[in-house]
Amino acid sequence: MKICTFNVNSIRSRLEIVQNLIDDYSIDILCMQEIKVENKDFPLINSNMQCVIHGQKKLHGVATCSTYPIDEKKAGFEGELSEPRFIYTLINGVHIINIYAPLGDNYGEKFEYKIYFYNKLFEFLKRFDLKKDKVLICGDFNISHTALDVWDEEIWDGEVTHLPEEKAILSKFLDNGFIDVIRKEHPDEKIFTFYDYRGAKVYKNEGLRLDYILVTKELFKYFKNIEVLTQIRRKRKPTPSDHVPVVAEFDL
């Protein structure tokens, strides 16, 4: 089973890239963020996949597409969070949570909203037994966890994505038994999944690691490999997303 997380920065602009990604890497489950489209206008990306779409006009939006049957689905948290940033699905015995976390800001209203979003997510996780269940959280967390996750620690220290409270949120997932599979496989390496369009950052390898695949220990038993597809970000045409697709394979 191959699962991919990819912040597409508009699915309509990235349709060809997404379709090639699915074919070239034999993706079974694709979790997308920033689809930037209403559900009714979401394009057909693959005739063998069914999709759960949680979109809106212009901004944000997530979608989870699968070649396997989708046994359970839930788009959005209960209650107040109106922006489409969360999809839960149960696929092939794996509880899959696809998130697009708010960016936040440096301790303003948007920062509070980001904290609120993660509080809702941890509340949702209470329904699982994280010691026994196969749970996977993937997506754009908008958090750069450690110094290895930013291209320049001096620049990013004290900036949004790399604030102490944000680092603590990522640590809290690990404290709850989740394994950060990119970091597990590359413990000492700077690995990035986002390169700002501005400043030709990708050509200087000046990036951030904002996208994660977190899995419980029970699921990690079946982990085979992980690929961070930086080369897709480096191509000129068609225009890539500013984020990099990440693919994990499991023996399931």
Write down the least CB distance from residue 131 to DNA, Å: 32
**Exposure class string for 25-61: b at 16+ Cβ within 10 A, else e:** bebbbbbbbbbbbebeebeebbeebebbbbbeeeebb
The letter for the amino acid at 250 is F
Find the binder of DNA among 1, 22, 169, 208 (CB under 7 A).
Answer: 208
Which residues make Cβ contacts (< 8 Å) with residue 202, sequence separation at least 6?
195, 233, 234
Binding flag, residue 210, DNA (CB under 7 A): yes
Q: What's the gap between Cα 220 and its chain centre?
A: 18
Q: Whose Cβ is closer to DNA: residue 13's or residue 171's?
A: 13
- Near DNA by CB under 7 A: residue from 21, 135, 140, 180: 140
Taking the least distance from each CB to DNA, the nearer of 183 and 243 is 243
Report how far residue 234's alpha carbon sits from residue 184's, in angstroms, rounded to the nearest whole number.
24
**What does the per-residue mask of binding to DNA show for 58-97, with x meaning CB under 7 A?**
xx--------------------------------------
Give the per-residue contact string, 91-120, with DNA (x = CB under 7 A; - = no).
-----------xx------x----------
Which of 98, 161, 193, 216 is close enough to bind DNA by CB under 7 A? 161
Contact between 146 and DNA by CB under 7 A: the answer reads no
Return the structure tokens found at 154.
């001096």
Interacting span for DNA (CB under 7 A) from 3-11, 84-92, 124-132, 166-174: 3-11
DSSP code string of 145-190: -SGGGBS-HHHHTTSTTSSHHHHHHHHHHHHTT-EEHHHHHSTTS-
Cα–Cα distances in angstroms (integers) from residue 26 to residues 21, 49, 118, in the given order: 8, 12, 31
Q: Does 40 bind DNA (CB under 7 A)?
A: no
Report the alpha-carbon distance of residue 246 to residue 183 in Å, rounded: 12
Under the phi-then-psi rule, with left for phi > 0, alpha for psi from -120 to 50, and beta for the rest, what region is 62? beta
Q: Which stretch binds DNA (CB under 7 A): 21-29, 51-59, 129-137, 213-221?
A: 51-59
Of the ranges 9-17, 46-54, 90-98, 117-125, which one interacts with DNA (CB under 7 A)? 9-17
Query: Which residues make up the interface to DNA (CB under 7 A)?
Result: 7, 9-10, 12-13, 34, 36-38, 57-59, 102-103, 110, 140, 142, 160-161, 194, 196-200, 203, 208, 210, 236-237, 239, 242-243
